[in-house]
């Protein structure tokens, strides 16, 4: 493994300070400015879409949504295009477990946008099967999508960031489930897949830092999304909220602050970190 020297000749030098001649409001804007273009996997989902909008709000020039839902993806891309008419936007229907398809999609995205500077990996599945009755196929599928799929997209994206010569930011969405066992629902396969994502982040952060690529994870707690709706989850939702110091589940917009931090100038020295955003759920 080769580490960066961190000097002016490397891809990891300390950033230059924002000049004090710039107005305070402009310094604040520049501190959290997002530059370049992004891929967001699972970008048509609730959390991925909120993150996509936040990147564009903070200055991203282009964005490509990777998702498996064609109808939802086209609608979300159109919504963003209407809101950000000057941005270069698009969507691709991608099965992130298909190595060849992922490489083609990433290569085409780099050509279409002109560069890939940010990767946000939101794509994933959730399952609530008991370990005794879970099939090996179900276990493998969960890890194949949540862990291997995330790696395949990063593996296809990193060479573009390296060739561009200015690094980039990769952020995987892990979960509090990668830190401790869920209650009351059984989710052993999901827990394993998210714990693996956190460890994957560690390895890539160490190996790819010399290229100027920062790799981090965000571990959300229970959020008010479509995955956590329905009468079948009513009792679980009550337990989750009862065991949270803040007494509620998270709103999708409450994840965007960390996303912007990691993808902007403000996160230039954050590498190999995991940000738990759960209202204190994992304190108990």
User: What CATH number is given for 29-279 in this structure?
Assistant: 3.40.50.720
Residue entry with tokens 């609608």: 75
Q: Which residues are catalytic?
A: 175, 190, 194
Residue entry with tokens 């980039």: 168
Could you tell me which of 280, 268, 162, 159 has the C-alpha nearest to residue 216?
Answer: 268
Query: What is d(CA 281, CA 250) in angstroms, rounded to the nearest whole number?
Result: 10
Query: What is d(CA 207, CA 129) in angstroms, rounded to the nearest whole number?
Result: 35
* pLDDT in single tens digits along all 284 residues of the chain: 999 999 999 999 999 999 999 999 999 999 999 999 999 999 999 999 999 999 999 999 999 999 999 999 999 999 999 999 999 999 999 999 999 999 999 999 999 999 999 999 999 999 889 999 999 999 999 999 999 999 999 999 999 999 999 999 999 999 999 999 999 999 999 999 999 999 999 999 999 999 999 999 999 999 987 666 656 677 888 999 999 999 999 999 999 999 999 999 999 999 999 999 999 999 98
Q: Give the DSSP H/E element, type plus range, for residue 135.
A: none
């Amino acid at each position: 493994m080769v580490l960066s020297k961190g000097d002016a000749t490397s891809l990891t030098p300390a950033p230059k300070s924002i000049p004090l001649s710039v107005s305070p409001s402009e310094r604040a804007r520049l501190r959290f400015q997002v530059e370049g273009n992004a891929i967001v996997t699972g970008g048509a989902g609730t959390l991925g879409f909120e993150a996509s909008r936040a990147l564009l709000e903070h200055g991203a020039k282009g964005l490509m949504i990777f998702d498996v839902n064609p109808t939802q993806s086209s609608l979300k891309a159109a919504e963003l295009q209407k809101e950000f008419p000057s941005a270069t936007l698009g969507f691709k229907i991608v099965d992130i477990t298909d190595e060849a398809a992922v490489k083609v999609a990433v290569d085409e995205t780099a050509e279409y946008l002109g560069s890939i500077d940010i990767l946000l990996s939101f794509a994933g599945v959730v399952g609530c099967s008991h370990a005794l009755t879970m099939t090996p196929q179900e276990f493998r599928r969960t890890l194949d999508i949540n862990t291997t799929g995330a790696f395949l997209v990063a593996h296809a994206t990193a060479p573009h960031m390296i060739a561009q010569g200015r690094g980039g930011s990769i952020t995987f969405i892990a979960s509090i489930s990668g830190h401790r066992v869920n209650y009351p629902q059984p989710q052993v396969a999901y827990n394993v897949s998210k714990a693996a994502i956190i460890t994957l982040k560690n390895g890539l952060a160490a190996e790819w830092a010399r290229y100027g690529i920062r790799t981090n994870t965000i571990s959300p707690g229970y959020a008010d999304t479509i995955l956590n709706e329905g009468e079948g989850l009513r009792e679980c939702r009550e337990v989750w909220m009862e065991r949270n110091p803040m007494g509620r589940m998270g709103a999708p917009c409450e994840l965007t602050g960390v996303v912007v931090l990691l993808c902007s100038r403000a996160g230039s020295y954050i590498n190999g970190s995991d940000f738990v955003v759960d209202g204190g759920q994992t304190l108990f």
